[in-house]
Amino acid sequence: MSMFNRLLMIVLFLLFLGIFAVSSTHAHLIEAQSGTLNIVDEGAFMVLPLPISSFHGLDQNSDGRVTLREFTAQRREIMERIRSQVSLRDAAGLCELQGIMLSPVASHDSMQDKLDQIIVMGRFALQAPDGPLHLIADIFGGAKGMQQMKIKVSRRKDSQSDWIVLTTQNASATLFAKRE
């Protein structure tokens, strides 16, 4: 890939992330528990909205709500949890999750400083993009309706797209696998 193409991909990725960064003021831009994974050349770009209840212990003062201050104080721990529970493997092995960005989303119907979601954005660096890909996302919310996650996967090279559903019982999937 030429230097110009790499620079263009970086600019487009940053623009993509910037669009989703405004989601902290508009909570319904992304449906909860419904993410995307877009495979472009040697990268897989992920947007994954997670309920705040996916991250135990954020409510430091035990008042029943997680505030922006509590989120900010534990940003590093949140990122470590994401790195340990969300992964992508290609034929060469585990792909590194790079450039993680977190966007907290406050409830639009609440006058309080209460966070409902964290939108996770990042890029997996693929080493073998043409081989099989396997996604693991074992990070779910506490309520019954938050025990599954839908992810739309698309691949630019051959214009394929697919939906995968991950659950607490099966938190992994092979992407673009033929299903019977």
pLDDT of residue 122: 96
Terminal alpha carbon distance of the chain: 37
Q: pTM here?
A: 0.79
Closest CA to 66 of 82, 78, 48, 80: 78
Q: Which residues of 6-41 are buried (b: 16+ CB within 10 A; e: fewer)?
A: eeebeeebeeebeebeebbeebeebebbebbbbbbe
pLDDT of residue 178: 66
Show the low-confidence residues of the chain (pLDDT under 50): 15, 19-29, 180
